[in-house]
Structure 1
């Protein structure tokens, strides 16, 4: 006779099943204590039950909550992880040239040369080649995102222009997975291709990276390693010949407009191997009993970086339009090259002094000291130079309480080619309250050697051998931030001495140094308003300088975005609206293709009008999608606009993008 067992009644909730206590007393919850007829007992044989259990399978639906992300800057003191961003916020703002808070002047398309529209000095010291006109298209070690993936994670992204126009396309795929709970690996392949809006604007950028992140089980040792490969091929058309394309009617299609150069090309290769290791010494503390983040009392680190940079500029034939003046080396074509090999070793020691309680960080002291060796091998035509810099770095962080902190950061080159360079920074943050926001006070002093492109350059079209004084920058800043009310405001004052820039005299482009001090005041304010389903984002910048003809930046820049939230079919979380950019009149810079530098040429000022883009973005299951129409108001105020002399900006065009995440 088969054995019989009795089982309590069960309730199903999603994938979870649990016993219903009321099955133990069927009369427990009946009104008026009325007795209910007894239910017949359910009987099931052991063999049948075993068969059901063996055929039952557990199922896990993997979602974004299984993926955490971080960067190297958030691993320096402890392990700080952040949720994977699957929202559509800023998803449709893919172009690095049109960052709402950091716009650019550019030569007309994504992948081509640019310079910041607002005053944004580089805060670096030491050797600098001076090539920064493609920086936003590069992937660098500090850009690598590391993952903690409890399931395999893959992200695919695609962007394309629509209606048969192939002006800009982009694609990337990211894959990351944990080999072990404490060891993650990943890879990214990205490509951006631009056919351009006018002839000769073709650009093709490739960014590939491999990375790994390992933490020992006892949380003492951390390894970050990555290999990055960047290739940028960007066409140079020297601008179109038709300088009245927006004011005089023409029947010629933009892609067939005659250009000043035909076949000129910049080719960059920027490859990096980076390895960084941390090791915690002494006692470790944890914020909580189940915390996976160790708070060290002492830490040593070592960072090794090898970077190889190759820069080529080529042009077939001889230019007769005056864009490429002089032919110092080759008489019938151009083939310039510059090579930089950079080897970096950095040793650092960190000391932490914390209170006994970690719920509020009070009287916490952190001290970092480091020694950095930078070795360079620089080659250009028949010139080669090898040199090194030795630097000292120090950072002091002190938290008076959870509402007040002070940070002091010092960098000083004490030996080598750029001896005397320094960057001293200080920042204090005061939290008023959750509703009142916080204050941030900042200051820095910088002494920077001239970039090598200012002092010595020898190529087919440009030649000089000059000596300049170090450029000095002093800065004071005051910021007020209130996240609760979506408000931010900042005031910055800059005092710049020995400013270096490029200028053209008698059609010869050469570097210059300003003997006077430059004063610049920069005020910025941002405020977001929410009215029911509507959101209105605003960002405004006011700049005032006593040398506008030298810096050539607009006095006023504003960005506004107004959009509406609406859900369709209960699953499509959708937003649609307009982005509007505006900048006031300024003296437009000119552009020298052979060296990729923006220079002060003829004093040309263009009329400026708001530029509006219409867009819609939505989320469907694991996919984010957007459709946008750029420069939707073309023809309302004008037929086009410029940010750089002679280089027209893009015309109206529609673009479509999709990003899809996979978690298994």
Structure 2
């Protein structure tokens, strides 16, 4: 993977040098870009053959075939997305090193997946799923270069280039690479995400295809967290050099590796625009392999209990899946868009050994074939949009079904109201059902676990002028989670996580509001969330309130050659029993030993935009030294100290 990265960087810079002779226009914050003519062919008529393009011609197409365009503006939402994940992390709490995991401050139970996943969910925040891959259509070769400094001895780079060989065929290639040593002992992060996409449409428009290849590896050195918390909480100058602090162990790492091949193509018997209706056949194919590995060299640690061998631990779980879906798609002005679909899902989750215990044998494999049928519907009536998606597993051991329905209504040009309803019943992830480890406590086979059922109802009221409010209410039956079985008094320094299904219902209410007030060149952007969990036992814990408030100033400077944005962001969440982190299985577990939270996080930033380049400078958590050393991301895992980081996002065009 690393060799692919270096080869791509070489190609990337060759194209970059070639592509800087002309620049496509950017888009100012207040208005769209102006248009520009493309280069003419020799001998072409200037009046007839000059083609004019704008930034809106640089199209980005999602998995759901929603189309947006390349945006080179500088807004406060761009500031929120300028991070390792490249998306707003308001509902997440990062660990100390870049590329580590995140603790969840909120839950989202809406899903389109009918089948269980590998597990090791702490490793998947940066793992790009099918829905995260975009496709492109651009009039000229286009490059996006993302760079940001890390915590110590490393860099973060996400390089991307796309081009159309013709109006009908597009190629893109991208690689996001990270290496960060971190401030604490044995906490290095090294990750890579390689993506390659293509999409094609025939000249007559009857056949269209899109495909991608993704290869990803996410490696983290693990230390179990700090073992002497007084060294951190007293704030003694000797230990502000975090590398001096004692940690539980320094000989372990975990790794997630995944490769995926994806193809989605469709053939139209009747094309849109040719007749009153449209009719097509579709086929979607996915083949994906994953493995999660935990390695511990030298002597084993009592941190995870007893082990079957005294040194050189290596646990590895593997998952291979193949998915084929056929669909018949029909649409007209009366019934809307209808899709009838049937899918075949093949899975093989396995380990390479069989464990014999006093209680019986723990198998090493879950394997089978699943068949599901379903349909989709979408229709627009006046200002109202309807959509629904239903899928039921009819054959196989992974019983389940999923239904998602939505409606949106444009009250006027400014206000939009939308609502959704969701019902999901599916088996828990495979690592809840079967797991094998050389640590004795981490072996189980739960044949009695049933489907986890989630019923969700919610809606959003959105206004460009006043902001938005989103509310949702979910009921979860058979909630599946990891709990801590170690005794707090006799085993205070041990992590013995086990899976469980909760026998009662869990009710979860989430209300999130967002708005912005402007005062000339100043603005105050606010995001606030309220959460309430109804449960008989503390099995799912979230903070009651989360708030993020940004006061910032923005203006054009240097005769409008630069657009400047600077301000301060406050993030705060109330105390709660945050989930603990278990690096052995790559999961978070429910704990009730201690609460974290109740501390402010203050960031100061200066951002600037020059043409298509956005420059970012941030002093992160600058209040860390004077508001008390009580900031944790999870028990025994401190949050980040004060650090200054910078970087840029550069778009350029041929």
TM-score, normalising length: structure 2: 0.84
Query: Are 1:306 and 2:306 counterparts?
Result: no
Tell me what 1:352 maps to.
331
Query: Are 1:325 and 2:305 counterparts?
Result: yes
Tell me what 2:633 maps to.
643
Query: Are 1:239 and 2:229 counterparts?
Result: no
Tell me what 2:170 maps to.
184
Query: Are 1:159 and 2:140 counterparts?
Result: no
Q: CA deviation at 1:106?
A: 4.5
Answer with 59-68 or 490-499: which moved more.
59-68
Deviation digits for residues 394-426 of structure 1 (CA, Å, limit 9, x no counterpart)? 11222222x11222211111111212x011122
**CA separation of 1:495 and 1:168: change in aligned 2, threshold 3 A:** farther
- Select the structure of larger CA radius of gyration: 1
**Distance in 2 between residues matched to 1:574 and 1:275, nearest whole Å:** 43
Q: CA deviation at 1:151?
A: 1.6
Query: Are 1:470 and 2:459 counterparts?
Result: no
Query: Of residues 56, 65, 70 in structure 1, which corresponds to 2:61?
Result: 70
Tell me what 1:128 maps to.
117
**CA separation of 1:506 and 1:658: change in aligned 2, threshold 3 A:** closer
**Distance in 1 between residues matched to 2:85 and 2:126, nearest whole Å:** 10
Instruction: Indicate the SS of the match to 2:184.
Output: coil
Tell me what 2:344 maps to.
373
Q: CA deviation at 1:640?
A: 4.6
Query: Are 1:316 and 2:306 counterparts?
Result: no
Q: CA deviation at 1:296?
A: 6.4
Query: Of residues 263, 266, 276 in structure 1, which corresponds to 2:251?
Result: 263
Q: CA deviation at 1:310?
A: 1.6
Query: Of residues 501, 504, 517 in structure 2, which corresponds to 1:529?
Result: 517
**CA separation of 1:15 and 1:595: change in aligned 2, threshold 3 A:** closer
Aligned length: 583
Tell me what 2:552 maps to.
563
Deviation digits for residues 9-63 of structure 1 (CA, Å, limit 9, x no counterpart)? xxxxx999xxxxxxxxxxxxxxxxxxxxxxxxxxxxxxxxxxxx9xxxx999997
Tell me what 1:504 maps to.
484
Deviation digits for residues 461-485 of structure 1 (CA, Å, limit 9, x no counterpart)? 21112222221111111321112x1
Deviation digits for residues 351-395 of structure 1 (CA, Å, limit 9, x no counterpart)? 1111xxxxxxxx551111111111112221322343111111211
8 Å CA contact 1:640–1:651 kept in 2: the answer is no
8 Å CA contact 1:626–1:656 kept in 2: the answer is yes
**Distance in 1 between residues matched to 2:154 and 2:276, nearest whole Å:** 46
The answer for unaligned runs of 5 or more in structure 1 is 1-13, 17-52, 75-79, 287-293, 355-362
**CA separation of 1:645 and 1:516: change in aligned 2, threshold 3 A:** same
**CA separation of 1:172 and 1:296: change in aligned 2, threshold 3 A:** farther
**CA separation of 1:631 and 1:15: change in aligned 2, threshold 3 A:** closer
Residues 322-471 of structure 1 mapped to structure 2, 5 A cutoff: 322-328=302-308, 330-354=309-333, 363=334, 365-382=336-353, 383-401=364-382, 403-419=383-399, 421-435=400-414, 437-461=415-439, 462-466=442-446, 467-471=448-452
**Distance in 2 between residues matched to 1:456 and 1:240, nearest whole Å:** 30
Instruction: Indicate the SS of the match to 1:73.
Output: coil
8 Å CA contact 1:634–1:640 kept in 2: the answer is no
Q: CA deviation at 1:249?
A: 3.5
Query: Of residues 534, 539, 542 in structure 2, which corresponds to 1:553?
Result: 542
Tell me what 1:663 maps to.
653
The answer for unaligned runs of 5 or more in structure 2 is 1-34, 38-43, 354-363, 488-495
8 Å CA contact 1:125–1:448 kept in 2: the answer is yes
**CA separation of 1:101 and 1:567: change in aligned 2, threshold 3 A:** same
Query: Of residues 593, 605, 624 in structure 2, which corresponds to 1:615?
Result: 605
8 Å CA contact 1:323–1:592 kept in 2: the answer is no
Q: CA deviation at 1:102?
A: 4.2
Tell me what 1:223 maps to.
209
Q: CA deviation at 1:344?
A: 0.9
8 Å CA contact 2:288–2:322 kept in 1: the answer is yes
Query: Of residues 593, 601, 610 in structure 1, which corresponds to 2:583?
Result: 593
8 Å CA contact 1:455–1:465 kept in 2: the answer is yes
**CA separation of 1:235 and 1:61: change in aligned 2, threshold 3 A:** farther
Q: CA deviation at 1:228?
A: 0.7
**CA separation of 1:500 and 1:295: change in aligned 2, threshold 3 A:** farther
**CA separation of 1:552 and 1:657: change in aligned 2, threshold 3 A:** same
**Distance in 2 between residues matched to 1:194 and 1:111, nearest whole Å:** 8
8 Å CA contact 2:101–2:125 kept in 1: the answer is no
**CA separation of 1:91 and 1:480: change in aligned 2, threshold 3 A:** closer
Instruction: Indicate the SS of the match to 2:209.
Output: strand
Instruction: Indicate the SS of the match to 2:616.
Output: strand
Deviation digits for residues 571-629 of structure 1 (CA, Å, limit 9, x no counterpart)? 10111111211100101222211101211234202351221111111111231111001
Deviation digits for residues 76-97 of structure 1 (CA, Å, limit 9, x no counterpart)? xxxx643211112344433357
Query: Are 1:139 and 2:152 counterparts?
Result: no
Query: Are 1:631 and 2:609 counterparts?
Result: no
Tell me what 2:104 maps to.
116
Instruction: Indicate the SS of the match to 2:590.
Output: strand
Q: CA deviation at 1:247?
A: 2.7
Q: CA deviation at 1:100?
A: 4.6
Instruction: Indicate the SS of the match to 1:150.
Output: coil
Deviation digits for residues 92-128 of structure 1 (CA, Å, limit 9, x no counterpart)? 4333579656422454322112342102225232232
8 Å CA contact 1:97–1:114 kept in 2: the answer is no
**CA separation of 1:635 and 1:180: change in aligned 2, threshold 3 A:** same
8 Å CA contact 2:563–2:609 kept in 1: the answer is yes
**Distance in 1 between residues matched to 2:642 and 2:197, nearest whole Å:** 39
Q: CA deviation at 1:542?
A: 0.6
**Distance in 2 between residues matched to 1:15 and 1:148, nearest whole Å:** 18
**Distance in 1 between residues matched to 2:271 and 2:209, nearest whole Å:** 20
